[in-house]
Structure 1
Amino acid sequence: MKSALFLSALIVISMPALVNAQAQDNGTARSKVKPARLIEFSGDREFLKESERLRVWRGEVGYRLEVDAAGTPTDCELTERFRMTYVNAKLCEVLLRTHSFEPAHDASGAAVESTYEGRLNFMEMREKD
């Protein structure tokens, strides 16, 4: 009885991953889009300075940038937001200003909007400095 319950729970847990993997390979437009490619992030020092000024005490900061068809970041969201909206906005300002991208391309080769996700590790940035 326990093994049957475990097996059914395992199937329920892994089913979304199987469906998602199949959807990615089914020839839809999403699977044929070449994502935006990061050309440069030049904001290590500026991000560290702003984080220190805002008293950010995390080991890493995850973020998501919306990138337009020209390769310019247009919107930013921190994946683990800070309680103060002001802190989120100020860190995003630095991220938007200091990233440059090659735009995403669809199957026909036309530039399209896309999303870029990244993480900044404070220890790695300090080692570079």
Structure 2
Amino acid sequence: MQELHQMLNRHRKYIFSLLALYCIGWGVTEYKTIFLGLILGTSISLLNHWLMIKRISRFGDAVVAGQRVRTLGTFSRMAWAVFAVIIALELPDHFHFISVILGLMTSYIVIMIDFIIQSLIKRKNGEER
């Protein structure tokens, strides 16, 4: 489980960096609705990623203890995504809909990029030994 939490910490750093860039973009450019949409979607994406890691951790603990395994909370994560979409649809003057959708996918993109980086690092360390 330690690796899982290390991975979450790396992903959180990447996503917070992206959120900082989005905030700068919101403040500096005239594309305020696009950056607000990215901020909203990415924030919900980070929340869903954190919820998933938390549930996976509990899931692993329950399996080790031989207890009944609870769900991974798919419904609650979908509800958060629907909540972000509803906000974007209700407030189109503030949030760009497509940007919210792209923001919701941010954690998955970060996971894939981090996987590639970690694979390259492991391959490089394996070749040096």
Measured against the shorter chain, the TM-score band is under 0.3
Q: Work out which of the two has the higher radius of gyration on C-alpha atoms and give 1 or 2.
A: 1
TM-score when scaled to structure 2?
0.26
Could you say which structure has the higher helix fraction? 2
Could you say which structure has the higher strand fraction? 1
